[in-house]
Every structure is written in C-alpha cells, then in structure tokens.
C-alpha cells in the first residue's frame, strides 16, 4: 500500500515545462528578463538624473533624430529577416535560412557602423563624458547638466554591446547552419537566437523613445 503511494507521488513530481519544446528557450527567456531589469534600471536612473537636473539640453538639439530613426527602421527590418530565417528552417529550407541570417547580420553590422559614426560625430561636436556642446544642431545656444554625455553613452553603449554580442551569436549560428546542423526537426537554437535578437530590437525601441525623442 505504502509502495503504491510512493510511486503515485513520484509521478506527480514532474511538472510540465513552460517551454516544453526546448529547455534552452526557457533559459534564454530568464536571461532576457534579468537583462530587461538592467536596462530598466539604467533608463529609470536616466529619468531620475534628468528630472533632478536644474536644466537638461533638448535631446533633439544635441543628438538629432533622423539618423537614429533610420537605425530603428534597420533593427525592425533585421527582426523581420530573423523571423523569416526561423520560418525557413522550420520548413526545412537551409539555404533560405542562411540567406536571411546573413541579411540579419548585415542589418546588425550597419547598425553598429551607424552608431560608431554617430558617436564620432557627437564627440567631435563636443558631447563628451564631462562636457556638452555649446550650440545645438540648429545653431542655437544650449546649456544644461553635464550628465547628458555619461548617461547617453552608457545607455547606448550598453545596447551597442548587446548588438555586438548578437552579431557574433548570429555568425556562430550561421556557420552551424551552413554546415547543415539545423533541419526542420532540429532548429530550437535558431529560435533561441531569434529571441535574443528581437529583445535587442525591443530595447532599442525604448532607448530611442526615452533618450532621443522625449
């Protein structure tokens, strides 16, 4: 009697996973949730510093939004190519998956190139870790807290580091894909990569709004 009860109890121990198709997917979700808290803390700190400052230079005058709006568009496009890569391998089309992964890498690299260009232009214009430019993009005189530079470079730099990591991650999966590792039945690693890449896109959407537009 007691033996039967023990067997029944052991059968109850196994709970269904939140992501039954792949444990790795749950792992990535948990990582992304903790990473979202890091970004959330950075953005909240930015808000606190900005609201507490006696004066804050208008971001549209210091940074400009045309280039970053294009960078946002680029990341949205790369998210679409990423989902198309996953869709392709789920149908067993390896070459199509590799093409879309290649396009996603290209999107990420162009994004990083544009960010490097933007940072270089801003530093030349006078936005450094302890100074802000004396005049805005329209030529009007600007003044404000010197914490503009450090907060801007920390948040966009932290995001840029994520994009760099994402591009390396994409290249690794692309090489594996070219070797024929992934098939219609074995592709969860491509899906996990997609989660990371879309998260980078999602975070940029928030950064674009909080740092550039508001």
Residues lying near another protein in the complex (CB under 8 A) are found at 18-19, 26, 29-30, 32-34, 36-37, 40-41, 43-44, 47-48, 51-55, 60, 65, 69, 72-73, 76-77, 79-80, 82-84, 87-88, 91, 191, 194-195, 198-199, 201-202, 205-206, 208-210, 213-214
Judged by CB, which is closer to another protein: 69, or 172?
A: 69
Closest approach, Cβ 159 to another protein, in A, equals: 14
Judged by CB, which is closer to another protein: 44, or 168?
A: 44
Judged by CB, which is closer to another protein: 53, or 109?
A: 53
Closest approach, Cβ 87 to another protein, in A, equals: 6
User: What stretches of 91-211 show up as alpha helix (H) in DSSP?
Assistant: 94-125, 148-178, 188-207
Q: Which residues, 6+ apart, have CB-to-CB distance to 112 below 8 Å?
A: 160, 163, 164, 167
Closest approach, Cβ 116 to another protein, in A, equals: 22
Judged by CB, which is closer to another protein: 123, or 198?
A: 198
Judged by CB, which is closer to another protein: 127, or 212?
A: 212
Q: Provide the residue count of the chain.
A: 214
Task: Check residue 141 and report its DSSP letter.
Answer: B
Three-class secondary structure of residue 111 per DSSP: helix
Residue 17: burial class (beta carbons within 10 Å; 0-12, 13-18, 19+):
exposed
Q: Which residues of 131-142 are buried (b: 16+ CB within 10 A; e: fewer)?
A: ebbeebbeeeeb
Three-class secondary structure of residue 128 per DSSP: coil
Closest approach, Cβ 59 to another protein, in A, equals: 9
Q: From CA 133, how far away is CA 125, in angstroms rounded?
A: 6
Closest approach, Cβ 6 to another protein, in A, equals: 29
Closest approach, Cβ 19 to another protein, in A, equals: 7
Give the sign of the dihedral formed by CA 162, CA 168, CA 170, CA 172: negative
Judged by CB, which is closer to another protein: 106, or 206?
A: 206
């Amino acid at each position: 009697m007691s033996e039967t009860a023990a067997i029944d109890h052991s059968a109850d121990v196994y709970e269904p996973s939140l992501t039954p198709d792949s444990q790795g997917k749950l792992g990535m979700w948990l990582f992304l949730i903790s990473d979202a808290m890091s970004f959330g803390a950075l953005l909240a700190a930015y808000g606190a510093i900005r609201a507490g400052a006696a004066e804050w230079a208008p971001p549209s005058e210091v940074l400009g939004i045309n280039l970053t709006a294009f960078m946002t568009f680029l990341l949205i496009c790369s998210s679409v190519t990423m989902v198309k890569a996953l869709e392709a391998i789920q149908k067993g089309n390896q070459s199509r998956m590799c093409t879309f992964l290649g396009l996603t890498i290209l999107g990420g690299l162009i994004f990083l190139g544009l960010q490097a260009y933007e940072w270089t232009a801003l530093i030349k214009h006078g936005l450094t870790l302890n100074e802000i430019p004396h005049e805005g993009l329209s030529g009007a005189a600007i003044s404000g807290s010197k914490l503009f530079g450090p907060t801007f470079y920390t948040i966009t730099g932290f995001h840029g580091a994520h994009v760099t990591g994402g591009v390396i991650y994409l290249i690794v999966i692309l090489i594996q894909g070219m070797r024929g590792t992934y098939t219609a039945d074995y592709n969860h690693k491509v899906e996990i990569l997609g989660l990371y890449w879309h998260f980078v896109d999602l975070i940029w959407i928030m950064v674009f709004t909080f740092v550039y537009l508001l």
